[in-house]
Amino acid sequence: MDNFRQVSTAFLELGEGYQKAIEEITRRMGAGMAKFICTEVETIDDYDEYCHYVAGLVGYGLSRLFHATGTEDLAPDHLSNSMGLFLQKTNIIRDYLEDINEIPRCRMFWPREIWSKYVDKLEDLKYEENSEKAVQCLNDMVTNALIHAQDCLQYMSALKDNSNFRFCAIPQIMAIGTCAICYNNVKVFRGVVKMRRGLTARVIDETKSISDVYSAFYEFSSLLESKIDDNDPNAALTRRRVDAIKKTCKSSGLLKRRGYDVEKSMYRMPMLVMIVLLLVAIILGVLYGK
């Protein structure tokens, strides 16, 4: 009976810990998001503040929930915040066209401080005659997002519970992969740009350890680096941020070859399977041809 009381008390205390964390974070999110109902994202500071309210605070909340379960140490707030900001900024970059075409009123999250260097109005980026400036603006936005990547790596490297780790790691790898695909890619202003299903499946299936995270971040950062145009206004800064990410991954001593291929939508089929399918097709062709 005493053991039952102790277990019951522990569950009640854990429940209170969950409730307190959720209540605090949702209250702060609501107050912050209300501020931006009638306020445009003008400066980079505004941009960071908006992303903090809608995603950084989610990072705070998750860290507090992990801590409440007793599975993790409480992560520093700046690392939790970066986990949210990297995901949110990646989504904002990828979803430019959907947001700008939103009916009845467009959603504008790209900060004026960045886009005004390239065009007079944010919607001008979607027009073909502005393609060169649009890509430069896009690269500026991706470069801004990359500043959070090292914090994310530090946060994930400290996680102890495998379920918590995979829950955090898979979206972060998707984010660095999406940044690599979107970078210097005018298609962001023409339609949907995202990681292909086969590559997404590989990330989900193969992300099991921090070694997998370092390897994925290194490879996707290398892909992004290969797309940097020296004539881009932010080329030097982009290179510095990519180099910093790669250095962090390399210094871990845990890199391994993943061979991610953003152009493939499915796993590569084994040669034997391809031969069998070809033979079946030939046999069916002969049968139905008679």
Q: Let me know if 107 is a catalytic residue.
A: yes
Q: Let me know if 50 is a catalytic residue.
A: yes
What count of other Cβ atoms lies within 10 Å of the Cβ of residue 57?
Answer: 24
Amino acid making up residue 281: A
Q: Where are the beta strands (DSSP E) in 101-161?
A: none
- List all residues 6 or more positions away from 126 whose beta carbon is below 8 Å from its beta carbon: 96, 97, 100, 101, 134, 189, 190
**Interatomic CA distance for residues 135 and 141, integer angstroms:** 10
Extract the tokens encoding 102. 């939103």
**Interatomic CA distance for residues 249 and 256, integer angstroms:** 10
- Set 107, 190, 197, 240: catalytic member: 107
From its phi and psi, is residue 43 left (phi > 0), alpha (psi between -120 and 50) or beta?
beta
Extract the tokens encoding 113. 């401080």
CB 68 within 8 A of CB 21: yes
**Interatomic CA distance for residues 244 and 242, integer angstroms:** 5
- Set 50, 109, 183, 217: catalytic member: 50
Chain centre distance of CA 121: 26
- Set 94, 202, 241, 258: catalytic member: 94
**Interatomic CA distance for residues 165 and 211, integer angstroms:** 12
What count of other Cβ atoms lies within 10 Å of the Cβ of residue 264?
Answer: 12
Q: Let me know if 196 is a catalytic residue.
A: no
**Interatomic CA distance for residues 231 and 234, integer angstroms:** 8
- Set 11, 27, 127, 167: catalytic member: 167
How many angstroms separate the first and last alpha carbons of the chain? 80
Q: Let me know if 166 is a catalytic residue.
A: no
**Interatomic CA distance for residues 59 and 63, integer angstroms:** 6
Which residues does the annotation mark as catalytic? 50, 94, 107, 167
